[in-house]
Amino acid sequence: MTQTSDNVTWLTPEAYNQLKAELEYLSGPARTEISVKIAAAREEGDLRENGGYHAAKEEQGKMELRVRQLTQLLEHAKVGEAPADDGVVEPGMVVTIAFDGDPDDTVTFLLASREYASADIETYSPQSPLGTGVNGKRTGDEAEYELPNGKKATVKIVSAKPYQG
């Protein structure tokens, strides 16, 4: 899983391999595909009114940004094992918290960097206010964090298990 501190991102071997494969695809086959799209759109004529050309150039820009992001992330990555199943909240854990001590008012999320964000589970960064508040706490502990309005909120750690996704 991941934890960013001082430009270091901790990754499991699986996550590192997945991101490396994405980078290799974007740096090779995907670059070739977008170049072909741009060339084909350029052949259509007037570039000022050529929607296909502008869309392909925008797609190329987004792809190149992702290549730079992945390159930087992987250059500073430390590869290690997934966190232990010991009930301690840390990056790579699926955490369930209860608000205001109400066991029916719970939220479950993955504490990890945005590289792990998926539709399957909500992801909170370890650097977010909630992430900072719960990081290092144990199941049963209470954690305090600052809300956007500046007030403090307290949650109880219901469970913390290693992410299996």
Mean pLDDT (the chain) is 85
Q: pLDDT (tens digit, 9 = 90+) per residue, 19-28?
A: 899 999 999 9
Element (H, E) at 79: strand 77-79
pLDDT at 64: 95
Q: Where in the chain is the domain with CATH 3.10.50.30?
A: 93-162
**b/e map 48-87, b = 16+ CB within 10 Å:** eebeebeebbeebeebeeebeebeebbeebeeeebbeeee
The vertex-79 CA angle with 77 and 83, nearest 5°, equals 120
pLDDT at 23: 94
Residue 6 confidence (pLDDT) above 80: no
Chain centre to alpha carbon of residue 97? 20
Distance CA 19, CA 36 (A): 25
* Mean local confidence (pLDDT), 146-154: 91
Domain 93-162 -> CATH class:
alpha beta
User: pTM to 2 decimals?
Assistant: 0.60
Q: Where in the chain is the domain with CATH 1.10.287.180?
A: 4-79
Q: pLDDT (tens digit, 9 = 90+) per residue, 91-143?
A: 888 999 998 767 788 999 988 876 666 667 888 888 889 999 999 999 999 99
Element (H, E) at 67: helix 51-75
Q: Select 4-79's CATH number: 1.20.1250.20, 1.10.287.180, 1.20.120.530, 3.60.9.10.
A: 1.10.287.180
Joined together, the tokens standing for residue 73 give: 């992330």
